[in-house]
Structures are given as C-alpha cells and as structure tokens.
Amino acid sequence: MDRGALVLASALLLAACSGGPTGLAENVHCDLQPVDPDRGEVTYITSQVSEGCVAQAPNAALEVHVLFLKFLNAVSQLELILQASKSNSIHPREVLLVLVTNTSVLLQLKAPGIPLHLAYDANLVIFQEPPEVNVTEMPPFTFNTKILDWAATKGHLVSVASLDDPSSILLRLGQAAPRSPYCLPKAQQDMGRTLEWRPQGRMTVWGCRLEGVAGHKEAHILRVQSKPDAEPRTVTLKVELSCTAGDPDAVLILQTPPNVFWVIDANHNVQVWATGGYSYKIFPEKHFLGSELPETTQGLLGKARMLNASVVASFVELPLASDISLRASCGGGLQTSPAPIPTTPPEENCSPHLLLSMVQPTCANGIMTLALNKAHVKALQCHITSLTFWDPTCRAEDGGEQLVLRSNYSSCGMKMTPHVVSNGVVISILSDSSPLRQDINCFHTDGLTFQLGLYLSSSFLQASSTMELGQQGFVQVTVTPSIPDITFLLESCHLDLGPEVDTVELIQAQAAKSSCVSLLPPGPDGAPRFSFLLRVYRGPMPTAGTLNCTVTLTAKNLPQEVKRTVSMRVNIVSSDLSGKGLVLPAVLGITFGAFLIGALLTAALWFIYSHTRPPSKREPVVAVAAPASSESSSTNHSIGSTQSTPCSTSSMA
C-alpha cells in the first residue's frame, strides 16, 4: 500500500473513533523542560500584531503604510517584501512606506513594480542594496502618535502595524477586506492578508516523559491561541519527522478554537487529534471533523497519556498563524537542554557578515569608489583600523561621515573586462586578528552611448522630433555599442511640458501609467519600446516639451544596477486653422457631422410644420437643402473651441 493510502486509512480510522475528552487524568506527572534545539524546532508565520489596523482606500492616489519595528538586538537583519495586487498591477498605485525602528537594522527591501516612497531614519536603517525608491524626509518625532499624524498628511492611511523582533515581513497591497475607511490602531490586531511576518530566532519547544506509560509512542502538541469569535482561518502545518526506520509511532494533538481548519503536510503517517476540522495536503478534497480537546496544559498532557504516548516530544504554545513548521527527530528518547546559568550578557561583537554586506562599490568616470558610512559601521559595533584594495598601498581616506576608498581603473591592481571592473578589499577590524577579504566587482557605462528616439509609426524607421495632436508616438531607447551580457529595462518616462502644465507621467516602475500608454515588445538588441498618444483637451496649448526616460542596466552575474537618464525635445504642432490646419480625418469627420446635424434639423422642422398647420392649408412640399453657411459655421464653432495636449492621468483638464 502506498503512502497516500496509508495516510487516508489512518485518517478515516481516527475520524470514526473521535470522541470527547472523558476520563482524562488531571494530575499527570510530566515535568516540561526545554528540548534540545537539534531535536525539535517550531517556526511560524502570523498576521497577528501587538497593535495595528487596516483600512480601505479604493480611490486614494497615494496609500500610506506605517511599520513600528521593535528589535531585541543592537543590530538585526530584516527582509521586507511589498507585493502589489493583481488588480493593481497594470497601473500600480503609489505607496508611502514609513519605517520606525528602535535599533539598527540591515534591511533587504523588495518592491517589484511598485512606485514606492520611503520614509525612515537614515542613521538606523542600513540597506543591503541601495534602494531605487523615492526618499521622503521624516521629522524626528518622539511619539508614535505624532508619526501617525504626520503620515496621515501625506496620503490615505491604509495600514499600521507594531511588530516585535521580526525577521521577515510580507506586506500585500490592495488586500484589505471590507472594513472601516479609517485606520485606528487597536491592541492584538489580526492584519488578515494585508500583512504576514515571521519572528526572529526559534520558539522554545518543551518536552517531558509521561510517568507510568510504557512504550515508545511520542506526542507532539501544538496549542494555538486565538479569539473564539475570530473569523474562520486555515492553518497549514508542515511536519518533518527525521526517522531512521519506517513510520514513527506518533500522534499530533492540535488544540485551537473551533474556527481553525488545519491542512496537514506530513512526511510520515501520524495520528491526528484536532479541535477544528482538518485535511491532508495530498487529499485536499477529503475533510475530517475535529474532536473536542481540553483547553489546559494539564488536560492536553492527560490526553497524550490517554493515547498511550510515553513521551511528549514537543509542546508549543503560539499565536494564530497561517503557516507552522514542526521539525523533530523520531525515537531516541527525550533530550532536554540544560537549564541556563545566569551570566552577565556578553558584549556585542562586530559581525563580519553584516560588515561585508555593506561593501558596495560604484564605477563611473574612470574611477571605482567604495564608501562606508561611519555611523552604520559604528551601529554594527565594528572598529575598522584599515581599509585597502588588494594593493595595500591604496588605503581609504577619512571623508568626515564616510570612509572612502577610490582608485582609477589603471591603478591599485584593477582588472578590466568590457564594462566590468574587478578588485578586492581588505578590512582590518580591532576585534579580529585576521583581516576580512572580499572580491568586488562593479559595472560601468564608460564608452556607452544612450539615445532616445521618437517615431511616428510602429516600424521605427524614421525618427522625428515633432508630433501632431491626435498622433501616436513610438519611443525607443537604444544603447551603443551593443553588448550581449548587458540587459536594460525601461524604468520610467515622463513628458515635461513647461511650468504652466503638469508633468505627464508615461512610465513608472516599469509599468504604463495611463491608458494612453502601451508597453511594446523590445526591439533589436533588447531596446525598450513604448507608445503614447497626444489627444485633445481644453487649456493652455504647449508648443514643445521634453521627454525624459530612465533605464536600468544590469551586467551578467553582477547584482548591481546602473541607472541612466536620457532626454529629447519634442515639438508639438497645434491643430487650429491659423497654423497647419486639421489633419484630413478630423476635417472629414467634422464636415460629415455638420452635414448630418443640418439634415436632421431640417427634417425635424418639416415634421413639426406638417403636423401642426390646419389640414386645409397643407400643400405639396419641396425639400430644400440646408445652406452651405450652416455647415461652415458649425465647423468653425467646433474648431474655435478646441485646444490640445498629451493624454495623461494628471489633473490637466
């Protein structure tokens, strides 16, 4: 019988035998002790925060999210991911993220395709990679309420969350369920799908031996704390049991409020007792009813004993989570950790890994530059005594707030390949007798030419610097000479029409900003392309504008990105009669419309006349064509009330 059939058979047997918690021994002798971390580990992802709120903002131009982060260590690492909703992926909404932290944090930020503005304390937040975001200066407030008041002035406050010692955070945009339009933080809040996070470190796993029970059966007890009136939730539980021979003799006891449903993904067959219903990941359509379980620790230990377990291999209490992972060893008895001996906490030492993550060289104008922020180095509690390239004679200089190491491409042992410069750094720190060494590489654009081309057809054959209203423009960004190992993306584009007209955003965060803009397949050698439309509006008529585009270049096998901006002047031709005149399709359309209106008006007048005069006076009718002047005057009136400018999402109308 295969593994799936065994799991299903055991689950069906348990479902048939589930009963109430009768006959439990309330006085169970089982001294819970911390389990050796190598024998058992529990991690989880939760949406529960110590304080927070979520609000809806369906029509907000800028949504604001505030994260209050409280860390236990002097320097912590954090992975922060922002994820846009699928409904908002075509024209992503701009986001302001406010980060407030109590200690220094080394941040890895990911926000693909999101136009992000970031507000933070530059003395506490250290980026593993330079963020390509707009930075908003945040005043030095002392109280959280002041920060929230300031954030609310920037846009609609969508979410607020206070997190204790997080290691990773996933912030989903546009996921708020129908709630209040106002975000008012409350204690012990469930953020739902808007925010999920994983805490630092490991949870303490407890275990004990049940006295008076023979055998080798092991129990794993998870007690999830949640409000009984909370919304129904599904918890995915991954169970990894390391067993040397066959399936273990083990039972899972999952105590939760009845509103929690479990999806169990186990690598071995185990018995399951759960308060809520449950199913197995390999049989998602087969649901099993839960059974009543005691709500106290002593009662759960008694349940394990009633199920003939001789050892509680793991006992964990944790908040309501969306994903839980349980890893444990099978058999071998219970191995607990020795009781900790109170000692004076050791002084924090410099972390070489965190220090080396700050080494991010840049190359431009024939010079490689490496700058280390002295405040960030101090936050890592590192004391640098020397910073050099491979050539020890090329030493860093004290630049006030930074240690700066630089050299041209022909000195200090630099190695050159096409558009990549290589060297290495040697960092000597006071707390380590051996210096730190790391290879460094950076991408440079010296010798590359960037060109922005405007075309009036999708064939991209003949460039132009002039556009007529009502025309579609086709834009292409090229780099010469072409290098196969370099890829580049169109990051943003906008059309500047002068001080009297708002800037027209065309591309932002690699996405079209309005319905008048279309991203096109790349051209030869991967040249980014897009099209946009100039159409009619009422207002001041610009005669020229400046098209600005920013591209991101990445070299193969290098993490660094290089951004370059290229511009061109675009002449805008007016379509009024005093200039060149309307294009032929517009003239034909206006002429036909005026003729049709005149004919309909004549027919309406005749209908009224023929049905209102006395019958005795009715006479045969002779149709008369509308005078040509009516057509001309209608045309002139339509033309005289029209002006034009580019199609845009900005408030120019």
Residue with tokens 């096109």: 520
What is the per-residue pLDDT for 173? Answer: 87
Return the higher-pLDDT residue of 571 and 526.
Answer: 571
Q: Does residue 96 belong to any structural domain of this protein? A: yes
Same domain, 420 and 455: no
Same domain, 296 and 222: yes
What is the per-residue pLDDT for 395? Answer: 92
Query: Phi and psi dihedrals of 244, rounded to 5?
Result: -80, -30
Q: How far apart are CA 339 and CA 44, in angstroms?
A: 25
Decide: helix, strand or coil at residue 548.
strand
Tokens linked to 438: 């790391």
Q: Does residue 638 belong to any structural domain of this protein? A: no
What is the per-residue pLDDT for 651? Answer: 37
What is the per-residue pLDDT for 579? Answer: 43
Q: Does residue 578 belong to any structural domain of this protein? A: no
Q: How far apart are CA 636 and CA 634, in angstroms?
A: 5
CB atoms within 10 A of CB 559: 11
Which of 404, 426, 443 is the last residue in one of the domains?
443
What is the per-residue pLDDT for 614? Answer: 60
The CATH number given to whatever domain includes residue 525 is: 2.60.40.4100
Give the pLDDT band of residue 17 (cuts 50, 70, 90): very low
Lowest pLDDT segment from 210-214, 441-445, 479-483, 609-613 = 609-613
Same domain, 261 and 148: no
Select from 455, 495, 476, 463 the least CA-distant residue to 645. 495
* pLDDT tens digits, 249-293: 888 999 988 888 999 998 888 889 998 889 988 888 888 888 889
Asked whether the predicted pLDDT for residue 494 surpasses 80, the reply is yes
CB atoms within 10 A of CB 625: 9
> Are 40 and 329 contacting, i.e. CB atoms less than 8 angstroms apart?
yes
Q: Does residue 390 belong to any structural domain of this protein? A: yes
Q: How does DSSP classify residue 29?
A: -
Give the pLDDT band of residue 586 (cuts 50, 70, 90): low
* Residue 371 bridge partners (DSSP): 404
Give the pLDDT band of residue 220 (cuts 50, 70, 90): very high
What is the per-residue pLDDT for 549? Answer: 92
Q: Does residue 528 belong to any structural domain of this protein? A: yes
Please give the tally of structural domains in the chain.
4
Same domain, 466 and 438: no
Which of 573, 600, 629 is the last residue in one of the domains?
573
Burial code (b: 16+ CB inside 10 Å, e: under 16) for 381-410 equals bbebeebbbbeeebebeeeeebbebbbebe
* pLDDT tens digits, 227-252: 666 678 889 999 988 877 666 788 89
Q: How far apart are CA 492 and CA 488, in angstroms?
A: 12
Q: How far apart are CA 529 and CA 551, in angstroms?
A: 11
Q: Does residue 629 belong to any structural domain of this protein? A: no
Asked whether the predicted pLDDT for residue 630 surpasses 50, the reply is no
Q: Which helix (H) or strand (E) is 137 found in, with range?
A: none
Q: Does residue 436 belong to any structural domain of this protein? A: yes
| 0.75 surpassed by pTM | no
Domain interval for residue 567: 449-573
Same domain, 110 and 175: yes
Q: How far apart are CA 644 and CA 646, in angstroms?
A: 7
Same domain, 427 and 456: no
> Are 253 and 300 contacting, i.e. CB atoms less than 8 angstroms apart?
yes
Q: How far apart are CA 510 and CA 112, in angstroms?
A: 9
> Are 444 and 421 contacting, i.e. CB atoms less than 8 angstroms apart?
yes
* pLDDT tens digits, 502-513: 778 888 878 888
CA dist 488 to 129, 416, 454, 557, 558, Å?
A: 18, 21, 19, 14, 13
Return the higher-pLDDT residue of 13 and 127.
Answer: 127
Q: Does residue 555 belong to any structural domain of this protein? A: yes
Q: Identify the burial level of 187 via C-beta atoms within 10 angstroms of its C-beta, where 0-12 means exposed, 13-18 middle and 19 or more buried.
A: exposed
Q: How far apart are CA 422 and CA 443, in angstroms?
A: 9
Which of 413, 443, 473 is the last residue in one of the domains?
443
Select from 561, 127, 135 the least CA-distant residue to 373. 127
* pLDDT tens digits, 329-357: 876 556 555 544 444 444 457 778 888 88
Return the higher-pLDDT residue of 528 and 201.
Answer: 528
Q: How far apart are CA 41 and CA 329, in angstroms?
A: 10
Residue with tokens 């936050």: 379
Select from 401, 385, 400, 391 the least CA-distant residue to 368. 391
Select from 267, 291, 268 the least CA-distant residue to 278. 291
Lowest pLDDT segment from 15-24, 65-74, 145-154, 316-325 = 15-24
